[in-house]
Structure 1
Amino acid sequence: MSIFTVASRYAKSLLDLTEEQGHLDAVKKDMDGVISVLKSNSELLAVLKNPIIKGDRKRNILAAIFDGKINSTVLSFFYLLVNKGRAAILLDIAQEFVREYNEEKGIVKASVTSATALSEGNLAALQEIIAAETMATVILKNVVDPSLIGGFTVRVGDKQIDASIAGKLGKLEKHFAAQGV
Structure 2
Amino acid sequence: MYAASSREALDGARVELEAALRGAKGADATTVGTELLSFADTVSDNRTLRTALADSATAPDARADIAKSLLDGKVAPATRDTVASAAARQWSNDGDLARGLRTLGREALLQSAKDSGNLDTVEEELFGFAQLVKGDPELEQALKDRTRTAADREQLVKTLLNGKVDPVTEALAAETVASTDEAPGDALDQLSELAAGVNGRKVAYVSSAGELSAKQRTDLAAKLPTIYGAPVTLHVEVDPDLLGGVVVRVGDERIDGSVAGRLAELRRNLK
Which TM-score band (shorter chain)? 0.5 to 0.7
Deviation at 1:8, TM superposition (A): 7.7
Identity across the alignment (%): 15
Bigger Cα displacement from structure 2, 22-31 vs 133-142: 133-142
Q: Which has the higher contact order (CA 8 A, sep 6+)?
A: 1
Q: Deviations over 1:70-96 (max 9, x none)?
A: 2334434455557xx525544333211
2:133 aligns with one of 10, 14, 38:
38
Q: Please, which runs of 5 or more residues in structure 2 have no aligned partner?
A: 3-95
2:267 aligns with one of 138, 153, 170:
170
AA in 2 matched with 1:70? V
Counterpart of 1:135? 229
RMSD: 4.1
Counterpart of 1:47? 142
Counterpart of 1:14? 106
Deviation at 1:43, TM superposition (A): 1.8
12 and 91 in structure 1: CA distance in 2 versus 1, 3 angstrom threshold: farther
Q: Please, which runs of 5 or more residues in structure 1 have no aligned partner?
A: 175-181
7 and 48 in structure 1: CA distance in 2 versus 1, 3 angstrom threshold: farther
Q: Deviations over 1:41-63 (max 9, x none)?
A: 22222222222223454344223
Q: How does 1:24-173 map to 2 (within 5 A)?
A: 24-78=119-173, 80=175, 86=179, 89=182, 90-104=184-198, 105-109=200-204, 111=206, 128-138=222-232, 139=234, 145-146=242-243, 155-157=248-250, 158-160=253-255, 166=263, 169-170=266-267, 172-173=269-270
Deviation at 1:69, TM superposition (A): 1.3
Deviation at 1:27, TM superposition (A): 1.9
Q: Deviations over 1:19-42 (max 9, x none)?
A: 135242232122123212211222
TM-score by length of 2: 0.44
